Amino acid sequence: MTDNGNGKGNAVLTKTAAAENGGNGGNGGSRGRFAGLGERARLRAAQSPVWARPVVMALNLVFAPFGVVADVLRDWWSVQGRGMRWVVYGLLVLFALVLPSDVIGDVMSPHTEWQTLLFFPIGGYILLAIGLNVVVGQAGLLDLGYVAFFAVGGYTMAIFGKYHGWNFWEILVVGVLIAALSGIVLGAPTLRLRGDYLAIVTLGFGEIIRISAQNWDYVNGPNGISGIPHPPNLSEWSFPDGQPWEFLGVAGMSPFTYGALDGRPYYYLMLVVIIAVIIFCKRLENSRVGRSWAAIREDEDAAELMGVPTFKFKLAAFAIGAAIGGAAGVVYGSQATSIIPNNFPFILSATILAAVVLGGSGNLPGVMVGAFLVAWLPEYFRGLAEYRILIFGGALVVMMALRPEGILPSRRRQAELAEGTGGMGSLGAEVGGPDTHAAAVEGAK
Amino acid sequence: MLLEIRDVHVHYGKIAALKGITVEVEEGEIVTLIGANGAGKTTTLKTISGLRPLSSGRILFNGQDISRMPGHKRVLAGIGQAPEGRGIFPGMTVTENLHMGAYARKGDVSKDLAEVFELFPRLAERKNQAGGTMSGGEQQMLAIGRALMSRPKVLLLDEPSMGLAPMLIQQIFTIIEEINRRGTTVLVVEQNAQQALQLAHRAYVLETGRVLKSAPASELLDDPEVRAAYLGGGAGAAGGSGGSGDSGDSGGKAAAVASAPGEAAVVDEPVQKTAPDDRD
């Protein structure tokens, strides 16, 4: 997916860059990186108040190796050829296919039904995070009302499916288009704003959509729409009994029959949409569009001076992000059978944003990992009842404190963060990064 | 006339930043705008490159009125700018930054890439380094090189000496001269008046949004008023004798300017030191 025709030149570039960096910076690759961990943990601990030092030091010692592993993995990935990449893609898809099996479910989700969980929140969050990543991670526009597009998609599914009797596939197309249109409608008047101002306007937009739905009789106000039709069955075919299907936990399951009982067909539907969106986003990232977004994110004025039509591309980022959110909404609506305005609260926007930042804004595998954690952790801790959100919050704080650039950041993002444009494009433009001062002093010399 | 700015007014909200500036740049020239902080130098450049809308007046480029043309189209028309505070893309490598410079162009860019690397051998050594991790001087070189990648007819440089060591400033100015010798018209904004005047053919002195004076650069170097206000040399004597001298139209202002050398020096210094931090 990464290595398409026009991305080749780039790939070569990153390879040499990675090789050089491994040679100079890493002191001889991964072993050198691990060796520095103890010293780094001690340095970090020394910056905190005395009483907190042992805790900070311990946290760093325990978790920092994961960060190193992530970096090593990324560098390994960046030097792999085409063949190896396809093997990894194949394995990942295979893994995704057997993911709903009970063997995995018992470990991952002791309190809730794993198959339903995989569809939503996990699958849904991942799709939303990929969409929001286009806006926040690639174009650097802070959108705090992203849930609005999810709602537009959900309500499109409900209105056309229930009132007009359209089938799911038609609505998927229409829903994506309507959501993209709503992205343009929101973006056209507001994208002249930057940073925090844009964030506030988008936040308002998210609330407007939810509150409008609440007060619109056509969609039954706060009661929402129920009885949304399921997608039509694609085929009645089901896996035969016996090995190896029983071992994989799919024996007797009909992956293309959409009923009310089995969550797995919806999971596979979500999986197909996610894969399609990943391919789309990855191709965009390596194209002229992706480079324009990167330029806008790093310095909007400079991008305009290079001849990038910044307004047009910001609008495109908004529309594409919105379209993906809309797709997520349509798929979600088709499974949920009933949606109410309160399915789309502000906190969902914030959670998806947290997923993007936590995972490593701008890097697709990163935001997917982030979305998975954000969706899965609260469910995993469900046994702790009220305390689960506290634990979840604590986990987020610890992760961001130890690795502000996110779990799996792109190398470019790490450089931007070090330079002080922050991890978030124009929002971070005024906020200095940890090394800004040192860099500035050096620059003055 | 390649570039002509006629009676341009620019406002930031209600505050007038430019109050009727007229600047002309002939093809093949190096023209400099000098003046203290807040004189409107950067705003003038931003207005030419299209980052600031103008409230009235006209900008003509190659005889065509570009006052309302969006910034990204002016690059195609032939205006290249290295922005203030360098404005390079920190997360992109040197080569990627340079390729962004050629964004608006079609066709092969390898020849221009080679030319930039020839002008700035330092950049060639650091092709794969992220822009944000380079030193101030290297970033300035990258910004100028990137602007050249669009093959501009006129190159706008905003404070190329900002925050750089004297040796490096000398080096950058030599390169600017070389770029001009190879056929690119240059409009450079500078606080470092001494060096800018030695470099340029003609100069405009800006003060609080107006053109105070315009003359061949060598004349301004000897101009007592300018010496007193911007060059910091022979302040007392030169200011006294030149206060009401040859500049008939701005005699009153001249006195004010001449009385401010010490203050200007005090204000200028710290600003230059903190400059690398200050990107907008």
Q: Of B164, B188, B216, at which residue does a domain stop?
A: B216
Per-chain mean pLDDT for chain B = 82
- B243 band by pLDDT with thresholds 50, 70 and 90: very low
DSSP state letters, B77-92: HTEEEE-TT----TTS
Q: Could you identify the residue written with the tokens 């930031």?
A: B12
Contact B95 A13 (CB under 8 A): yes
Of residues A107 and B179, the one with the higher pLDDT is B179
| Residue-level pLDDT at B248 | 38
Residues with Cβ within 8 Å of A67's Cβ and at least 6 positions away in sequence, in order, are A402, A403, A407
Q: Bigger pLDDT: A243 or B159?
A: B159
In terms of phi and psi (left: phi > 0; alpha: psi -120 to 50; beta: otherwise), the region of A159 is: alpha
pLDDT surpassing 80 at residue B257? no
DSSP string, A348-370: HHHHHHHHHHHH-TT-HHHHHHH
How many domains in chain A?
2
Residues B97 and B209 in one domain: yes
B109: amino acid identity, one letter: V
Say yes or no: B210 and B265 in one domain. Answer: no
How far apart CA B39 and CA B23 sit, in angstroms, is 14
Count of domains in chain B? 2
Beta carbons within 10 angstroms of residue A37's beta carbon = 15
Q: Do A20 and B88 touch (CB under 8 A)?
A: no
A291: contact with B, CB 8 A cutoff: yes
Q: Are residues A32 and A144 in the same domain?
A: no
Co-location of A47 and A139 in the same domain:
no
Question: In sequence order, what are the residues at sequence separation of 6 or more whose Cβ sits closer than 8 angstroms to the Cβ of residue A303?
Answer: A292, A295, A296, A310, B100
CATH of the domain at A133: 1.10.3470
Same domain, B144 and B204: yes
Per the model's pLDDT, the better-predicted residue between B156 and A192 turns out to be B156
Claim to verify: residue B98 and residue B208 sit in the same structural domain: yes
Sign of CA dihedral A418, A419, A420, A424: negative
- Select the more confidently predicted residue: B57 or A407: B57
Is A100 contained in some domain?
no
- B113 and B250, same domain (yes or no): no
pLDDT of residue A441: 38
Does some domain include residue A118? yes
DSSP A422: -
Angstroms from B26 CA to nearest CA on chain A: 22
Give the pLDDT band (50/70/90) at residue B256: very low
Which of B81, B103, B110 to mutate: most A Cβ within 10 Å? B103
Contact: A444, B83; criterion CB under 8 Å: no
Whether residue B6 lies inside any domain: the answer is: no
If asked whether residues B93 and B229 sit together in one domain, one would say no
Residues B160 and B200 reside in one and the same domain? yes
Shared-domain flag, residues A180 and A276: yes
Look at residue B173 and tell me whether its pLDDT is greater than 90. yes
At B196-205, the pLDDT tens digits run 999 999 999 9
Write the ipTM: 0.79
* B193 vs A7: which has the higher pLDDT: B193
In which domain, by residue range, is B239 found? 223-280
B269 falls in which pLDDT band (50, 70, 90)?
very low
Please report, for the domain that includes residue B184, its CATH number. Answer: 3.40.50.300
Higher pLDDT among residues B91 and A49, named by residue: B91
Which positions in chain B touch A415 (Cβ < 8 Å)?
90-91, 130, 132-133
In a domain, A300, yes or no: yes
The model's confidence at residue A222, banded by pLDDT at 50, 70 and 90, is very high
* Domain extent for A27: 1-80
Q: Looking at beta carbons, which residues of chain B come within 8 Å of A413?
A: 91
Confidence of residue A5 (pLDDT cuts 50, 70, 90): very low
> Is B249 found in the same domain as B192?
no
Task: Check pLDDT > 50 for residue A294.
Answer: yes
Please tell me whether residues A34 and A169 are part of one structural domain: no
**pLDDT of amino acid A30:** 53
Instruction: Report the percentage of chain B scoring pLDDT > 70.
Output: 82
Question: Mean pLDDT over residues A11-38, rounded?
Answer: 48
What is the rounded average pLDDT for all residues in chain A? Answer: 81
Residue B275 located in a structural domain: yes
Residue A333 pLDDT: 93
- pLDDT (0 to 100) of residue B79: 94
Rounded CA separation A199/A205 (Å): 10
Q: A259 or A304, which is more confident?
A: A304
Q: For residue A425, is pLDDT > 50?
A: no
- Average of per-residue pLDDT across B21-33: 94
Rounded to an integer, what distance in angstroms lies between the CA atom of residue B146 and that of residue B82? 8
B101 closest CA partner among B134, B121, B75: B75
Least CB–CB distance from A301: residue in B51, B103, B146 = B51
- Residue B255: which of B264, B265, B270, B245 has the closest Cα? B245
A66 with A183, same domain: the answer is no
Which has more confidence, A230 or B276?
A230
Higher pLDDT: B242 or A233? It is A233
Q: Which of A127-136, A377-386, B160-169, B183-192 has the lowest mean pLDDT?
A: A377-386
> Of all residues in chain B, what percent carry a pLDDT higher than 90?
58
Do B117 and B197 lie in one domain? The reply is: yes
Cβ–Cβ below 8 Å for A306 and B101: yes
pLDDT at B189: 93
Q: Which residue among B164, B194, B216 closes a domain?
A: B216
The per-residue pLDDT for B276 is 42
Cβ proximity of A267 and A123 under 8 Å: yes
Assess if residue B15 is contained within a domain. Answer: no
Residue B258 pLDDT grade (very low, low, confident, very high; cuts 50, 70, 90)? very low
Q: Which of the pair, B149 or A233, is modelled with greater confidence?
A: B149
Which residues of chain A neighbour B103 with C-beta distances below 8 Å?
291-292, 295, 306-308
Total number of residues shown for chain A? 445
Is residue B242 pLDDT above 50, yes or no? no
Return the DSSP state at A127. Answer: H
What is the average pLDDT across A347-356? 92
Instruction: Quote the pLDDT of residue A78.
Output: 81
The least confident of A148-157, B43-52, B88-97, B231-240 is: B231-240
What pLDDT shows up at residue B233?
57
Phi, psi of A143 (to 5 degrees): -115, 115
Please list, residue by residue across B16-41, b when 16 or more beta carbons sit within 10 angstroms of its beta carbon and e when fewer do: ebbeebebbbeeebbbbbbbbeebbb
Last residue of a domain, one of A399, A419, A435: A399
Instruction: Let me know if residue B261 belongs to a domain.
Output: yes
Residue A203: half-sphere exposure toward Cβ, Cα within 13 Å: 12
Residue A16 lies inside a defined structural domain of this protein: yes
Domain assignment of residue A292, yes or no: yes
Q: Are A274 and A130 in contact (CB under 8 A)?
A: yes
Residues A75 and A134 in one domain: no
- Among A292, A305, A442, the strongest candidate for a mutation testing the B interface, having the largest count of B CBs within 10 A, is A305
- B171 and B187 share one domain: yes
B136 and B251, same domain (yes or no): no
Q: Does any domain span residue B127?
A: yes
CA distance B87 to chain A (A): 6
C-alpha distances (whole Å) from A365 to each of A115, A275, A406, B212 are: 22, 12, 11, 58
Examine residue A96 and state whether it is found in any structural domain, yes or no.
no
Instruction: Please list, residue by residue across A45-84, b when 16 or more beta carbons sit within 10 angstroms of its beta carbon and e when fewer do.
Output: beeeeeeeeeebbebbeeebeebbebbbebbeebebeeee
Task: Please check the confidence at residue A319 and state whether its pLDDT lies above 80.
Answer: yes
pLDDT at residue number A371: 94
Q: Which amino acid is at B57?
A: G
Judging by DSSP bridges, how do beta strands A225-226 and B56-61 pair with one another?
unpaired
Q: Where are the alpha helices (DSSP H) in chain B?
A: 41-49, 71-77, 94-101, 110-119, 121-125, 136-148, 166-181, 193-199, 217-222, 224-226, 235-242, 251-258, 261-274
pTM summary value: 0.81
For residue B72, tell me if it sits in a domain: no
DSSP B191: S
Per-residue model confidence (pLDDT) at position A80: 83
The two three-digit tokens of residue A163, written as one number:
């009132």
| B contacts of A17 (beta carbons < 8 Å) | 93, 128
B42 located within any domain: yes
Looking at residue B246, its pLDDT comes to 40
For residue A420, the model assigns a pLDDT of: 53
Q: For the residues A52-74, what does the mean pLDDT come to? A: 80
Same domain, residue pair B37 and B155? yes
Residues 389-418 of chain A with CB under 8 A from chain B are 412-413, 415-416, 418
Look at residue A438 and tell me if it is in a domain.
no
Quote the tokens at residue B118. 């020839």
From B178, B196, B216, the end of a domain falls on B216
Residue A139 has a pLDDT of 93
A328 and A190 in a common domain: yes
Backbone angles phi, psi at B160, to 5 degrees: -65, -20
Residue A91 in any domain: the answer is no
Is B22 within a domain?
Answer: no
Residue A335 and residue A203 share a domain:
yes
Helix (H, G, I), strand (E, B) or coil at A230: coil
Quick one: what percent of chain A has pLDDT higher than 90?
43
Using the Cβ of A287 and the Cβ atoms of chain B, whether some distance falls under 8 Å is answered with no
Question: Of the ranges A29-38, A105-114, A311-320, B262-271, which is most confident?
Answer: A311-320
